[in-house]
Structure 1
């Protein structure tokens, strides 16, 4: 029993004629009859009753025709939707990330994606916890999550897009602002503006400083890197942040200076998904657009 068998059988039931369906399909009446006979062999019942002016379905034939017609209609609708998805003419892409991420990593990609796929729904969901991103991915309520890349997680695939070096954000009149770079040891006892230690990036920084035997002074806790940069510019502390796209270049003039830090491994960031090979074409297109924007 094939889908073609069922399509032909439904067409015969509706037309009431084998020859009429043969003309529509540009084939022989015998070929149409073979589709029906194959169904009758597999079901073990007679499906059509011959009459002087054509054929009508038997009681068993009506049962199969109704079920096949409903199934074919649903399948055809699904195939049309899949075609729309492949062409970018419908569907949605669901991304979970933080507000800082959208601003620094995705702004250009979102504009480019929207111009290319104007009919696609783009859903940007805010999440402050990487665990929350993973739970949403495993629950199937999400296509992509932008995260700090970490250790393996069962059921999740992670792909780094860019490695971000660390920089020291300080006021322009700070003694360290005139230096071309600082060593990690220069951070000893400074007052830090920092993310919570339970955040992935904050934890990475703490672990790196601990491995180097560096103890920092009192700190001010913030929820995102943009706030850390603002407080550093206001003189409320020194912020150690990843060099995100869109930040001033190290050494650039302005009230806030960014000085590269030597001795701390870069922070890898990128995408988390359930399975890359199962991503929709639209989700893959958005992921590629962000990766292209970041690497430019």
Structure 2
């Protein structure tokens, strides 16, 4: 059993195909199969189940896949850090986020981080869902993921940083704009509301749908978006009404004389967002420092005492 055996096995499980991995590695399918067979001989169990359109891990294979994935990610991180030390580099921080995260939650933190660590490499990778962010963490592709905090995810630690109340974005000339807020009963009564729906694969959409279900609400929608900023823009254009989190720095009543109003929705539970990592104790000092800076931008973390504490 070798590291290459484990890497190729994990790649096959993710791709669901021996031939796809062979193409990626520029080798034969037989060579890929030999790596898997060597693992099966070493473990004494069948690891893959052949199906008409590819392969899937057996229950035993899933056990090995999870362990190998976590172990290889840790080794890759260690090798990267050792390489940085050997080359005399300052280190790096790799962050995965949604499309609007940096603008609303990290802009000040990025500037402060650059001033404090001018030699460090700061990389951002955009993902479309918390699930894909978790996958990037598990693969060792990133150090930190900014996600909607939800249920437990195996091999991932989550820490909330801030809770975002929900608001209804409406045009200033909309009759709804005269209301101080919109209660659940108000949403149910406003039959003419044209809801701009958030993406189906997003955690924020799932959180909102669960809240609607608990309140017995069902809104119709003929317009969908990929992110919060686009929903707000469409509301400004008069396409519909957007239910979005109140973002940092956003005037809840809308800018005076501006085209939009943001009406509080007090009956909807706030949306918790924050950091996800593989293990906080294994996080590099640079990554901890960046996480702290984002926490302070969001108003939830104390000034760094030099210990690189992570946001609570």
Q: Is the 8 A contact 1:197 1:206 kept in 2?
A: no
Is 1:228–2:231 an aligned residue pair? yes
Structure 1 position 132, deviation (Å): 1.3
Q: State the distance in 2 between where 1:238 and 1:201 align.
A: 16
Number of residue pairs the alignment of both structures matches: 217
Aligned pairs for 1:196-235 (under 5 A) are: 196-235=199-238
Q: Is the 8 A contact 2:137 2:143 kept in 1?
A: yes
Give the secondary structure class of the aligned counterpart of 1:259: strand
Structure 1 position 173, deviation (Å): 0.9
Structure 1 position 80, deviation (Å): 8.7
* Correspondence for 2:244: 241
TM-score, length basis structure 2 = 0.66
Aligned pairs for 1:50-129 (under 5 A) are: 78=82, 81=85, 90-129=90-129
Q: State the distance in 2 between where 1:102 and 1:248 align.
A: 19
* Correspondence for 2:298: 294
* Correspondence for 1:264: 268
Q: Is the 8 A contact 2:165 2:264 kept in 1?
A: yes
Structure 1 position 203, deviation (Å): 1.1
Q: Is the 8 A contact 2:252 2:264 kept in 1?
A: no
Structure 2 residues without counterparts, runs of 5 or longer:
1-80, 301-312
Structure of greater Rg: 1
Q: State the distance in 2 between where 1:214 and 1:137 align.
A: 35
Structure 1 position 99, deviation (Å): 2.3
Aligned pairs for 1:131-142 (under 5 A) are: 131-142=131-142
Q: Is the 8 A contact 1:180 1:251 kept in 2?
A: no
Encode CA deviations 1:8-37: one digit per residue, 9 max, x unaligned.
Answer: xxxxxxxxxxxxxxxxxxxxxxxxxxxxxx
Structure 1 position 217, deviation (Å): 2.5
Is 1:276–2:292 an aligned residue pair? no
Q: State the distance in 2 between where 1:200 and 1:79 align.
A: 36
List 4+ stretches of structure 1 deviating above 3 A: 77-80
Q: State the distance in 2 between where 1:139 and 1:218 align.
A: 36
Q: State the distance in 1 between where 2:221 and 2:197 align.
A: 10
Q: State the distance in 1 between where 2:83 and 2:211 align.
A: 51
